[in-house]
Amino acid sequence: MTNAIETRLAELGLALPDSPAPAANYVPFVISGNLVFVSGQVSMDADGLIKGVLGDGMTTEEGAAAAKLCGLSLLAQVKSALGGDLSRLKRVVKLTGFVNSTADFGDQPKVVNGCSDLMVEVLGDAGRHSRSAVSAAALPFGVAVEIEGIFEIDA
């Protein structure tokens, strides 16, 4: 069954990946009331993890592309949480982005925009959200970006 969100993804030439499995002792998402809390999704594509340090060999544009992939993984986790029914997704509430970057790199917001822009492209106004974009001295497995999210759903 295709819904408006999946139709929009297809129009953009995008597909959701399989929901990534947790890499440690946690669950990929928790539903509480009408909110889905999705654990941090690391930058990865079909070839594996996207590693790098922004400000040291990785460009802001490459980081934003990695963040966009985190966004697709977030949506995949929401779809999984909703038993495959993305039509129950009402809005993105908050994203928190962590950027593996040097101490003097200051474009974390531009990197995390890769995910934020995706949410608005796919969901329209329902994709607008509150957000934090912070630097990290290191991220798990050396990935470039990790993003977690809170989503409102029809309960």
If one counts the domains in the chain, the total is 1
Q: Say if 61 falls within a structural domain.
A: yes
pLDDT band, residue 1 (cuts 50/70/90): very low
Q: Say if 9 falls within a structural domain.
A: no
Q: Say if 7 falls within a structural domain.
A: no
Domain span at 59: 29-153
Question: Residue 31: which residues within 8 A CB-CB, separation 6 or more?
Answer: 37, 81, 153
pLDDT of residue 21: 85
Q: Say if 82 falls within a structural domain.
A: yes
CA distance 68 to 53: 16
Q: pLDDT tens, 11-38?
A: 999 999 999 888 899 999 999 999 999 9
- The phi-psi region of residue 34 (left if phi > 0; otherwise alpha if psi is between -120 and 50; otherwise beta) is alpha
Based on its alpha-carbon atoms, the radius of gyration of the chain, rounded to whole angstroms, reads 15
Q: pLDDT tens, 82-100?
A: 999 999 999 999 999 999 9
Here the CATH number for the domain that contains residue 66 is 3.30.1330.40
Q: Say if 14 falls within a structural domain.
A: no
Q: pLDDT tens, 102-145?
A: 999 999 999 999 999 999 999 999 999 999 999 999 999 999 99
Q: Say if 1 falls within a structural domain.
A: no
